[in-house]
Amino acid sequence: MTVTAPGTDAPSEPAAEAPTGVPVRRPSAIWILIAGLAGLAASFTLTVEKIETLINPDYVPSCSINPVLSCGSVMITPQASLLGFPNPLLGVVAFSVVVVTGVLALARVELPRWYWAALAAGTLLGAAFVHWLIFQSLYRIGALCPYCMVVWAVTIPLLVVVAAIAVAPERGGAVARGLYTWRWSLVALWFTALTLLILVRFWSYWSTLV
């Protein structure tokens, strides 16, 4: 039995552990959700279009607009099924995770930092895969898939937002803070470079439309 001396405080309760969740600003949560929904819609639509082409070889996908913007030309290539199944299935799974993450973040659920680090790593792998597909589309296949381009357009900004949450630039070094400061300028530069590459690669066709 423990006796507490008069005038002294009773033994205090063990201090509660500090929360490990990472707060996410509302604009970031909204962007994650929007990017996830856009990527999921594009991936799901591509999956449906791929199934239709398998059922009916004469089927013309809705995104086959002209010789350059043509999902059909892309779907039949080996690059469209890199792992032995249609690439859009990867997008359906990955963007479903992003949508759930966006909903949780918007609901103020503070996910642990390791989760954001894992999501940033996964998004980085996705961005690398996207750039490989961009190269293949421009210089090997010679056609652009509009729905794929939606995935391209949301992946890079998504990487920027998720990485900013995971890295916590205020606690990082000078490089992390510099990348955070210039993150949207880098995204704008990426979009500009990609647009120029597309214009130059297919200029012989675009010029006929002028």
Work out the average pLDDT over 160-176.
Answer: 76
Residue 5 pLDDT greater than 70, yes or no: no
Q: Give yes or no for a contact between 94 and 40, defined as CB atoms under 8 angstroms apart.
A: no
Q: Which residues pair with 22 in a beta bridge?
A: 111
Q: Give yes or no for a contact between 24 and 105, defined as CB atoms under 8 angstroms apart.
A: yes
Residue 113 pLDDT greater than 80, yes or no: yes
Domain ranges of the chain: 26-166
The count of residues in the chain is 210
State residue 180's pLDDT score: 75
Phi, psi of 65 (to 5 degrees): -100, -40
Helix axes 87-106, 26-55, angle to 10 degrees: 150
Q: Give yes or no for a contact between 110 and 23, defined as CB atoms under 8 angstroms apart.
A: yes
Q: Say how far apart CA 4 and CA 77 lie, in whole Å.
A: 80
- Among residues 41, 64, 49, 68, the alpha carbon closest in space to that of 154 is found at 41
- Predicted confidence band of residue 14 (pLDDT cuts 50, 70, 90): very low
CATH architecture of 26-166: Up-down Bundle (1.20)
Strands in 5-139 per DSSP E: 21-22, 111-112
Residue 102 pLDDT greater than 90, yes or no: yes
- Predicted confidence band of residue 169 (pLDDT cuts 50, 70, 90): low
